[in-house]
Structure 1
Amino acid sequence: MYEVYYGGISKVHPTGFMMSRPNGAGHYVILLIRSGGTYNIAGCEKIVPPGSAVILDPKVPYSYSNPKGQYIDDWLHFTFEGENLISKKLLPLNTFFQISDIEDPATLLGQVLFEMSYTKNADIQRDNIDCLMNVLMNHLYSAYTMQDDPRYKNPFYPQFQALRLSMQGGNFDDISMARKAESMSISVSYFQHLYKDFFGISYQKDVIDMRIEYAKRMVKSTDNKIELIAKLCGYSNEIHFYRQFKEITGMTPKQYKELNS
């Protein structure tokens, strides 16, 4: 169970700001570092780049600032009882690590603060905060364990993840590789290379597989006409849809529905 005390989102500290806690904060502290800065933790000084995170021990002395200008971060003070990734020593304390997309944990942190301020039912508030904190910790643990993965360090990885997640949800309205590459300001060949490198499959084959997987769910669970299902899966030609469906599943949509009804 987590007890959350206070926090902030995208807090901008002016040039010359320094946070110094020689006796620690008295709580665990999550810092999502947006601007970068110079940190001193228990006498060890370190220059930390933007897009980093750290969880500080309640008793560790620390200070930080950004000598180059404004210091910007998201932060949360909390304690906990029971077992979690920190108590299991899977998520280390006082250790900086990189986060591919800082907005993911920042969104969760912000939702925790929202629950603190605006959920009036105490039981619901406690349950929601516990759930959100567990998800936040899992996100931080994932970032910590993946920080040395070359994909995770690539600035295009979050965009490709978002694209693939969108298609997995059945969004096939505009999946032209040329337009996707243009939206990222990269060449089509580099787009193809990155996609295969990130996911181990070519963009073209992945699109076909996801279209047919989505079509299988629609055929199995709805009474929509095949013409509509083909359109929802991004096919402008119903005959082309039939051919690809049978090529991948080994049966026609009608046969698939009868087999799975």
Structure 2
Amino acid sequence: MNHIRYIGYSAVHTENFIFDVPGGHDCWLLLLTHTPALFFVDGTLREYPAKCAVLFAPRQKIYYRACGSTYENDWIRFDSTETYVSTLPVQGRPFLLPDPEYCHSLFQLLTWEHTMPGLNSERTVDQLLRVLFTKLLEACSLKSSFPHYHSLLLMRKEIYNHPQGDWTVPRMAEQLHLSSGYLQVLYKKIFGTSCMEDVIDGRIRMAEDQLLYTDKPVSEVAEQCGYSNLEHFCRQFKKTAGLSPTAFRKQADASEQTFLYHDIQLAPPAQ
């Protein structure tokens, strides 16, 4: 069971901001920082970077303050009897989030569900909190952090969302202010695949969708998926999908016709 007492996101404070509750709250407090901040951890005031999360248990000492011209965070004060909250291995100590935008979006959704409740808001809030704490558990369980991880993750999301873009290794490296060689080594180490393999996979998935659900000519599909050369598109498509674009579409059409045929055969005979 979870009960949100108060929640908000993107709260901005001045450089003089200090939050000091020696005896802690009588509920849980979860923060997601958007700017660097000072936190009292293990008897010492330490500076932590932006894009950190920190969970304070009930009655745990809370002290944090701004360390720049402004301090900004998302926060939620809540009651919970869920073990996924109480067993989070890191409590009272900020830890970096590899995908802070994802967590920030969950804070926004939780805020809207809490402040503008609907018929299923209680269930929705529970599910959103479960997802949020799953992401937090993944983040605090990371054994090591890679340089430029966050920037690479944002770029990978953009590749998946717009694979038809003009993606080349030199352009990607320039965007991240890295050398082409270092980008490729780092990308492969973090994600287990190369940046151009991600581009190709994204383009072929888009092409499969276009071939299945539109009647566009193959040449138009190729162009919309980021290929200026039709032969190059056909070669990459067959290498990835196992069939040429034309054969892929024909196979899909045949499967649909077979389905329709069986559907008709199963219909009861006319009386």
- Into which bin does the TM-score normalised by the smaller protein fall? 0.7 to 0.9
**Are 1:35 and 1:70, in contact at CA under 8 Å, matched by a contact in 2?**
no
SS of equivalent to 1:63: strand
* Cα separation, 2, equivalents of 1:160 and 1:68: 26
Q: Does 1:204 find its partner at 2:199?
A: no
* 1:33-52, Cα deviation, whole Å (9 max, x unpaired): 332203157xx334141232
1:71/1:217 CA distance change after superposition, 3 Å: closer
**Are 2:11 and 2:74, in contact at CA under 8 Å, matched by a contact in 1?**
yes
**Which residue number in structure 1 is paired with residue 139 of structure 2?**
143
Q: Does 1:126 find its partner at 2:127?
A: no
Count of residue pairs brought into register by the alignment: 251
Aligned with 2:177 (options 185, 188, 211):
185
Q: Does 1:236 find its partner at 2:237?
A: no
* Cα separation, 1, equivalents of 2:83 and 2:64: 27
1:79/1:165 CA distance change after superposition, 3 Å: same
**Are 1:37 and 1:71, in contact at CA under 8 Å, matched by a contact in 2?**
no
C-alpha deviation, 1:15, in angstroms: 4.0
Q: How does 1:240-259 map to 2 (within 5 A)?
A: 240-259=232-251
TM-score using structure 1 length: 0.81
Aligned with 1:216 (options 205, 208, 215):
208
SS of equivalent to 2:202: helix
SS of equivalent to 1:172: coil
**Are 1:108 and 1:132, in contact at CA under 8 Å, matched by a contact in 2?**
yes
* 1:78-117, Cα deviation, whole Å (9 max, x unpaired): 1124x34124x24443333222343432332233223222
**Are 1:173 and 1:234, in contact at CA under 8 Å, matched by a contact in 2?**
yes
**Are 1:18 and 1:64, in contact at CA under 8 Å, matched by a contact in 2?**
yes
**Which residue number in structure 2 is paired with residue 64 of structure 1?**
64
* Cα separation, 2, equivalents of 1:150 and 1:40: 21
C-alpha deviation, 1:244, in angstroms: 2.2
* Cα separation, 2, equivalents of 1:162 and 1:112: 23
* 1:165-222, Cα deviation, whole Å (9 max, x unpaired): 3333453122133222222223333322322222222333332333223323433444
Q: Does 1:37 find its partner at 2:35?
A: no
* Cα separation, 2, equivalents of 1:171 and 1:29: 39
Question: What stretches of structure 2 of length at least 5 have no aligned partner?
Answer: 256-271
**Are 2:36 and 2:67, in contact at CA under 8 Å, matched by a contact in 1?**
no
**Which residue number in structure 2 is paired with residue 6 of structure 1?**
6
**Which residue number in structure 1 is paired with residue 107 of structure 2?**
109
1:244/1:7 CA distance change after superposition, 3 Å: closer
1:70/1:238 CA distance change after superposition, 3 Å: closer
Question: What stretches of structure 1 of length at least 5 have no aligned partner?
Answer: none
* Aligned residue type for 1:224: K
* Aligned residue type for 1:104: Y
SS of equivalent to 1:246: helix
SS of equivalent to 1:29: strand
1:20/1:205 CA distance change after superposition, 3 Å: closer
Greater Cα radius of gyration, structure 1 or 2: 2
RMSD: 2.7
Identity %: 29
- The runs of at least 4 consecutive aligned structure 1 residues that moved more than 6 Å come to none
